Amino acid sequence: MPFFASLPEDAGPPNVFVLYPEVYRPWSEMSEALMNGPSSLTQGERELILAYAAGVGGCEFVAGAHAEVAYAWGVERGLVEALLEDLDTAPVGVRLRPLLAYVRKLTLTPGKLAQADAEAVFGAGWDEKALHDAIAVAARAAFMRILVEGHGFAPPSREVAAKHARRRVERGYVNLYSAFRERG
């Protein structure tokens, strides 16, 4: 049950987004550019990173919701959960592992990041834009974790999360919300 009496029992971020469109329309536009715009990371990889960062940060709501989006983009079902259980043994490619290790360290102990962490990512074949994108996706996960936890939102069921994920893949981050859809 949300902490705000004005919100319905099954409230989630969309309820807040439509209340404050001056804040969350630009947020949704930024999210669209970050998650679906040009990047050497696929949309599925970006959603995987978001779900992983949220899970590492302890937010079941955001981790579960974005794991379903990653799966809707074709990421192997169960990979987010395997990564959260043990990054070193999860069935993820060797190229992606250092990027996820960077995201984990950024999420848990950002002050301990060092040049060696970035070099491990670059050594795996990623460029600066890819690392930037992973950092920005992890920052988006942190923002959403705080928004969700701060409002007291309960995680949706896997079925509801999967339904929302399919709509996110079809509509993107702006047109997902009727209040923000392009008119015309």
Position 184 scores a pLDDT of 45
pLDDT score recorded for residue 182: 60
Q: What angle, rounded to 10 degrees, do the helices at 60-72 and 43-56 form?
A: 160
Q: CA-CA distances (angstroms) from residue 1 to 44, 95, 144?
A: 30, 41, 17
Provide the 8-state DSSP code for 111: G
User: What is d(CA 153, CA 149) in angstroms, rounded to the nearest whole number?
Assistant: 6
* Mean pLDDT per 10-residue section of the chain, whose length is 184 residues: 93 92 93 96 98 97 96 97 97 96 98 98 97 98 97 92 90 81 56
CATH architecture of 13-180: Up-down Bundle (1.20)
Question: What's the confidence (pLDDT) of residue 126?
Answer: 97
pLDDT score of 64: 96
For residue range 143-167, what is the model confidence (pLDDT) as tens digits? 999 999 999 999 988 998 999 899 8
Instruction: State the angle between helix axes of 43-56 and 21-36 in degrees (0 to 180), rounded to the nearest 10.
Output: 120
Residue 176, pLDDT score: 78
What span, in angstroms and rounded, lies between the C-alpha atoms of 47 and 14?
Answer: 18
- How many Cα atoms occupy the beta-carbon half-sphere of 37 within 13 Å? 13
- Position 144, amino acid: M
Q: From CA 168, how far away is CA 107, in angstroms rounded?
A: 24
> What's the sign of the alpha-carbon dihedral 35, 41, 42, 45?
negative
Q: Is 173 helix (H, G, I), strand (E, B) or coil?
A: coil
- Domain ranges across the chain: 13-180
Contacts with 36 (C-beta within 8 Å, 6 or more apart), sequence order: 43, 172, 173
Give the side-chain half-sphere CA count within 13 A for 14.
Answer: 15
Yes or no: say if 67 and 83 are a contact pair by the CB < 8 Å rule: no
Query: How many percent of the chain have pLDDT more than 70?
Result: 98
Residue type for position 149: E
Looking at residue 175, what is its pLDDT?
83
